[in-house]
Amino acid sequence: MTSKIVEELKAKLTPKTKLFTAGPVACFPEILEIMCIQMFSHRSKEYKWLHIDTINRLKDFLDCQEGEVLLFPSSGTGLMEASIRNTISPKGKVLVTIIGEFGERYATVIKENGREAIKLNFDLGNPVNPKILDETLSNHEEVEAVTITYNETTTGVLNNLAELAWVVKNHDKLLFVDAVSAMGAADVRFDEWGIDIIFSSSQKAFGVPPGLAIGAFSKRALELSEKAEEPGWYFNLSRYLKVQQKKQGTPSTPPIPQIAGLNAALRIVEEMGGKEKWYSMYERRARKIRSGVNTLGLNVLAEKGYESPTITAVFSPEGVKGTRIYEEMRKKGFELAKGYGSLVETTFRIGHMGYISDEDIEAMLDTLGDVISELIR
């Protein structure tokens, strides 16, 4: 009986395409396997061990020894809201750097939480320009914080976070980093770069199913949370910290399978030889995909030198809609990602996160070549 239920659901839900998505992404088999074990209480000694082991591994991975890492039962956007509610004074101002749709989302979250977002927009495909950021901060001494999208998933642009962080710290502002599609594939040196809050989601470069948000917080951010007027209950950072310290867990029930999956991901990184090796796997994949699309005569949206290690936005050829390429690739067994927002018809995107082999990339590029030739005929 049970197996019939499972078989029916598997038949309906198992992807029939290879995933080159923007997330959720294909997961490593070890991660899926550990997520299937029988559940245990989030106040049990097994959970406490899992929680603290995962936190310690993340602290090493993010070079975060002075700050704290916390885990949240939400997706990444929850931590955009948390960053604002816990640290920015009511009606306070935040400078939001925008290189695509997720920067826009941060500005909306700020406004909907009653604070003011001062937007600093750059052309799609470009990163944040550090000189312009510096000048804008000189003209807006009143802002309390700056937000940066480390990797803009809609354009496939990776900001130079070290350089931008240096500018923000020179102006002594809080620095919040949306690293949803960067963490796990692009280096994070939390203490050295002076980051105050950085966050991500499980379903991106760690290759874990969705449902878990990961955040790192500086002492300064956590002290502000302690004094915040209305941080709310669910995302109250100082409550998370206290519960982690006292009970080695979270205030409400955490997504235990995802945390076990993330722990497995961090062990895979270790087994591979450490994070540098893991990052170079991502770099290799990204280079292979970029050079493959260039060989097909297609251009990448991202400015040279700022191309993302996790996702590539590609201009579709003259006269061919990006959505057509997406649909034709899907029919042939490859799930790419559509262009996003205003770029939906002029671009399509190829995600490179999660469980993807070199052979998958080669097969995807061969099929893309066939699709393009059919569509431009």
Ligand X SMILES: Cc1ncc(COP(=O)(O)O)c(C=O)c1O
Q: Kindly list the residues in this chain that would bind ligand X in the complex (CB under 6 A).
A: 22-23, 75-77, 102, 149, 153, 178, 180-181, 201
Task: Give the number of other CB atoms < 10 A from CB of residue 226.
Answer: 14
| Nearer of residues 22 and 208 to ligand X, judged by Cβ | 22
| Nearer of residues 102 and 122 to ligand X, judged by Cβ | 102
Long-range contacts of residues 32-41, Cβ cutoff 8 Å, at least 24 apart: 32/261, 34/257, 34/260, 34/261, 34/263, 34/264, 35/209, 35/257, 35/258, 35/260, 35/261, 36/257, 37/260, 39/256, 39/257, 40/256
Beta carbon of residue 199, minimum distance to ligand X (angstroms, whole number): 9
For 51-98, the three-class secondary structure string (H helix, E strand, C coil) is HHHHHHHHHHHCCCCCCEEEEECCCCHHHHHHHHHHHCCCCCEEEEEE
| Nearer of residues 337 and 371 to ligand X, judged by Cβ | 337
Q: Is 291 helix (H, G, I), strand (E, B) or coil?
A: helix
Beta carbon of residue 125, minimum distance to ligand X (angstroms, whole number): 15
Beta carbon of residue 235, minimum distance to ligand X (angstroms, whole number): 13
Beta carbon of residue 141, minimum distance to ligand X (angstroms, whole number): 28
Beta carbon of residue 76, minimum distance to ligand X (angstroms, whole number): 3
| Nearer of residues 179 and 300 to ligand X, judged by Cβ | 179
| Nearer of residues 80 and 228 to ligand X, judged by Cβ | 80
Residue corresponding to tokens 């690293």:
179
Q: Where are the alpha helices (DSSP H) in the chain?
A: 2-13, 29-35, 45-61, 77-87, 101-112, 130-139, 161-170, 190-193, 219-227, 237-247, 256-272, 275-295, 322-331, 358-376
Residue corresponding to tokens 């949240």:
72
Residues 118, 99: Cα–Cα separation, whole Å: 14
Beta carbon of residue 333, minimum distance to ligand X (angstroms, whole number): 23
Q: Is 377 helix (H, G, I), strand (E, B) or coil?
A: coil
Beta carbon of residue 258, minimum distance to ligand X (angstroms, whole number): 12
| Nearer of residues 152 and 328 to ligand X, judged by Cβ | 152
| Nearer of residues 201 and 316 to ligand X, judged by Cβ | 201
